[in-house]
């Protein structure tokens, strides 16, 4: 039976230790493309910078129990903006809080904190959060993002994720414009023990994607992960190249790309939102891989991405090794912030 159709008993069995990072593999739920349980402790550790700042602000607001007043709401507004949740998102949140306060739905700081926790989880829950996959393999995942966002490392993390869930993974080195991009991805493929299709630097990215799609079908691959350029001479040329790659793999594999993941650097804050809006104009972005959350004290950008863009965050990066990947879970993320 194909691995993506394993029964629940099989899926509950632990996987072998990770090839990179030396950590146990996560346990899959629902097969290769099922949502894998996010570890609260790992998310807490990864969000340490954000949590320390957010927690300090929360203690200042909620440390002394009592009734809500305008001063506490103003302090909460400033805290959320500082955490990079975005002005529009914060305004929307505060409007709901003000209404709940005026209607006496919430009156105490304890009630306000619980209201905020519940509301944030609601914002972060979106349909389509699970990885989209083909009815029959291979599933094609197109990965886009600007240079410096952590795209190559994120691809390695995805390869690690799917291989540990039992899948056969193939990488396509279609970022042929950036110096060393193909070499870097090749090094990761060797570390992880997955195949890669590559051409010489400067080759046509569409041709690489076509050959990779052909190889994926011939080799019985389960997941094909396609790297793409993060920078070209003009932004317009970059977007055209992305559209071309999507068309090429779609002609070879019906329904492809099944998933288009946009890699965004959490440390860039609201600039990440602007990047996502430009990419959305060119390709149908189906999910976000938010990287470097461990390196910022403004992890509220996760809330801004979901609320402003309407694109679900599907994975978060919390470190540099291939094992430092977590499927995004709203409850785990919010609980890590508040606990």
- The token duo for 92 is 């929307």
| Strand 223-227 relative to strand 287-291, pairing | unpaired
Neighbours of 283 (CB within 10 A): 18
User: How distant, in Å, are the alpha carbons of 129, 203, 241, 265, 270 from that of 309?
Assistant: 14, 33, 23, 15, 12
Q: Is the pLDDT of residue 198 over 90?
A: yes
Q: What is the pTM of this model?
A: 0.85
279-299 average pLDDT score: 88
Provide the b/e sequence for 7-38 (b: ≥16 CB within 10 Å): eeeebeeeeeebbbbeeebbebeebbbbebeb
146-153 average pLDDT score: 91
- The token duo for 290 is 């938010």
Q: Is the pLDDT of residue 79 over 70?
A: yes
List of E strands, 206-280 = 223-227, 259-265
Q: Which residue has the higher pLDDT, 84 or 7?
A: 84
List of E strands, the chain = 139-144, 169-172, 195-197, 223-227, 259-265, 287-291, 313-317, 325-327
- The token duo for 62 is 């909620």
Q: Is 306 helix (H, G, I), strand (E, B) or coil?
A: helix
pLDDT of res. 177: 85
Long-range contacts of 59-62 (CB under 8 A, 24+ apart): 61/109, 62/109, 62/110, 62/112, 62/113
d(CA 138, CA 145): 23
Identify the weakest region by mean pLDDT among 69-78, 179-188, 216-225, 278-287. Answer: 278-287
166-179 average pLDDT score: 92
pLDDT of res. 233: 52
Q: Tens digits of per-residue pLDDT, 99-139? A: 999 999 999 988 998 999 999 999 898 777 788 999 999 99
The tokens 């975005």 sit on which residue?
86
Q: Is 171 helix (H, G, I), strand (E, B) or coil?
A: strand
Q: Using an 8 Å Cβ cutoff, are 138 and 255 in contact?
A: no
| Residue 77's pLDDT band (cuts 50, 70, 90) | very high
Q: Which residue has the higher pLDDT, 97 or 34?
A: 97
């Amino acid at each position: 039976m194909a691995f993506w159709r394993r029964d629940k008993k099989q899926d509950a069995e632990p996987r072998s230790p990770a090839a990179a990072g030396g950590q146990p593999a996560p346990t899959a739920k629902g097969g290769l493309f099922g949502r894998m349980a996010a570890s609260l402790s790992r998310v807490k550790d990864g969000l340490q910078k954000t949590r320390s700042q957010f927690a300090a602000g929360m203690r200042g607001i909620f440390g002394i129990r009592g009734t809500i007043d305008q001063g506490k709401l103003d302090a909460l507004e400033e805290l959320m903006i500082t955490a990079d949740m975005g002005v529009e998102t914060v305004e929307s949140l505060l409007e709901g809080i003000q209404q709940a306060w005026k209607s006496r739905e919430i009156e105490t700081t304890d009630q306000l904190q619980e209201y905020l926790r519940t509301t944030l989880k609601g914002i972060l829950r979106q349909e389509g959060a699970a990885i989209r996959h083909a009815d029959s393999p291979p599933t094609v995942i197109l990965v886009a993002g600007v240079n410096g966002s952590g795209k190559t490392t994120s691809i390695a993390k995805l390869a690690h994720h799917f291989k540990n869930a039992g899948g056969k993974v193939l990488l396509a080195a279609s970022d042929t414009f950036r110096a060393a991009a193909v070499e870097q991805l090749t090094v990761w493929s060797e570390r992880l023990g997955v195949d890669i299709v590559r051409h010489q630097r400067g080759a046509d990215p569409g041709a690489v994607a076509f050959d990779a799609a052909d190889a994926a079908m011939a080799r019985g691959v389960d997941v094909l992960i396609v790297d793409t350029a993060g920078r070209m001479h003009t932004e317009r040329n970059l977007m055209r190249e992305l559209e071309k790659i999507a068309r090429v793999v779609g002609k070879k594999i019906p329904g492809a790309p099944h998933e288009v993941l946009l890699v965004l650097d959490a440390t860039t804050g609201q600039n990440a939102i602007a990047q996502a809006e430009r990419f959305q104009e060119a390709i149908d972005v189906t999910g976000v891989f938010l990287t470097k959350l461990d390196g910022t004290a403004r992890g509220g950008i996760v809330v801004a991405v979901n609320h402003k863009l309407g694109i679900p965050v599907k994975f978060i990066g919390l470190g540099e090794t291939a094992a430092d990947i977590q499927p995004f879970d709203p409850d785990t993320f919010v609980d890590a912030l508040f606990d």
